[in-house]
A and B are shown apart, each in its own frame.
Chain A
Amino acid sequence: MRIKQISVFVENQPGRLVSILEVLEKKGISIRALSISESAEFGIVRMILDNPDEGLEALRQAGFTTRMDWILSAEIPDVPGGLLNSVAKPLAEAGINLKYFYAYIEQATGDKAMVVLKTDDLEKAERILKSLAG
């Protein structure tokens, strides 16, 4: 299903991630998933928060350049071929391109793994994954 992701622009310097995490900790916000995409000089920190709206506001107040995007989360069976058959193949067959992808820190329920992903077609990808989940 679709889920809010908060991204933050940071310079590639020691302590930047610490500053972000401190802001969230102060507000008692928990991080479900986190990924950092880096280039030589800057990075984009992407997070799934338990309270994305508050997190966005708190980071903004603290002076960070930040934004909210809708992406998708999906539960996949924690077995070989789980990701392949539940997400990757179905999207590829529908001609949907995967932009980025990362996994949940938190343990998923039962024998499932939780992943988040951004594609180039939110609506279509969401429909496909929903129908597969049954």
Chain B
Amino acid sequence: MIRDPEHEKMPRKELEKLQLERLQAKVREVYEKVPFYHRVFKEREVSPDDIRTLADITKLPFTTKVDFRDNYPYGLMAVPMQQVVRIHSSSGTTGKPTIAPYTQGDIDTWSEIMARMLASAGVTKDDVLQNAYGYGLFTGGLGFHYGAERLGASVIPTSGGNTKRQILLLQDLGATVITCTPSYALILDETAQDMGVDLRDTKLRLGMLGAEPWSDQMRDDIEERLGILALNIYGLTEIIGPGVSVECPHKCGMHIAEDHFMVEIIDPQTGEQLPYGEEGELVITTLTKEAQPVIRFRTRDIISLNPEPCECGRTLVRMSRVTGRSDDMLIVRGVNVFPSQIESVLLDVEGVEPHYLIVVDRQHVFKTDELEIWVEVSEDVFSDEMQKMENLEKRLRSEMDSVLGISARIKLVEPKTIARTEGKAKRVMDRSEL
């Protein structure tokens, strides 16, 4: 269903005109209200008046995750704190998380965008929606919650975890829609099977899955096991949370909410804008965000864009699945993990050499992603007492858990176990490569 045909089916010329108006206003706003943007615009000798066409966006500087880190916590805000009604956060590249504040206006816009996205997947007031995305600082839980409520569906805020209970509720409360990560969908199925429950016998007919990369094969698997239509949804904390784009039931790419987000594709090495159809890094500018608008944010996600009108009738450009990253970030069980976070913990624990290797066990049908960090034991931390070594392991694990936000196994290894490479160290390996 198309909830907002005016915007979702807007002719391209009109959409571009709307985008330009919003872009000009937003650029002026950040220039005047956000010292960071004022400074970087001045450094590039560009002013809001220089934005006369959409192509002029290339005159503006990029914003990266490092800028978020450097301006932590509130340096990128465009409004006084009094106007902020919510603050979400997600992983940063080091120990400091990424902060995302929202005004009431932002919450309303976000709810409406999410309602629109749920509607495009076929969700209506008559649906019972079980929301198993994590509630709390993570944008997934509350993002879907507000969108579903706005749409009028009956929301069950189960959040993540407590899987046996979730399955009981799925059976008894009759959810027709499940929202969760793709890997959690498979865990639900596995646990259900252990309980002697077949999820295909429940009322579930649709899943809106995202927050981590997943393949078409995984989709087929999930659809088969749960007896649902499984659609992809994409977003990121720095922009809004979930709500940047969503697949319509034709499953041919995710429609981007272009009335709110202006997108570009760039060559990650040179920063040059690329044409539609080519694969490159997705860059997003927020056209309607109030608390923390962002100009040309480099997502590091590699995708391609398709501007052809879709069978569903929407004119909004479609993005492919994310095919890779232009940085070293991983997503494990839906959480962003940066090797630099791991490095910061290791350096913190006195004397531990930052020679480490991240080993990822990628999700198979019955397993979640597992993260293991191999840490070389140097003479500085080596003790003849077993207790001290076990304490070291425990301390590393607890600090790692707290910085990463997910649990990781720590494996202490002998020096030189981890291959030394020339140039950039290979910090991440899949278990199958070992």
Contact = CB atoms under 8 A, between A and B. Distances in A.
9 contacts: A5-B384, A39-B389, A41-B412, A46-B384, A63-B414, A65-B378, A65-B382, A67-B379, A118-B384
Contact of B386 (A41, A44, A65, A66): A44
A35 B144 CA distance: 58
B386 to A, nearest CB: 5
Contacts of B378: 65
A26 interface: no
Contact of B390 (A39, A46, A66): A39
Interface residues of A, number: 21
A118 to B, nearest CB: 7
Contacts of A16: 414
Nearest to A46: B384
B389 to A, nearest CB: 7
Contacts of B389: 9, 39, 42, 44
A99 B384 CA distance: 10
A65 B384 contact: no
Interface in B390-433: 390, 411-417
B412 A42 contact: yes
Nearest to B387: A99
A72 interface: no
Contacts of B413: 11, 42
Query: Chain B interface mostly helix, strand, loop or mixed?
Result: loop
Contacts of B412: 9, 41-42
A65 B385 contact: no
A65 B411 contact: no
Interface string A33-45: 0000101011010
A123 interface: no
A16 B415 CA distance: 13
Nearest to A64: B414
Given A11-B413, A44-B383, 5 more contacts: A9-B389, A11-B417, A39-B389, A41-B411, A65-B379
Contacts of B377: 9, 42, 65
Given A39-B389, A41-B411, A63 B416 contact: yes
Contact of B415 (A39, A41, A65): A65
A7 B385 CA distance: 9
A18 to B, nearest CB: 14
Contacts of B379: 65-67
A100 B378 CA distance: 23
Interface string B351-384: 0000000000000000000000000011100111
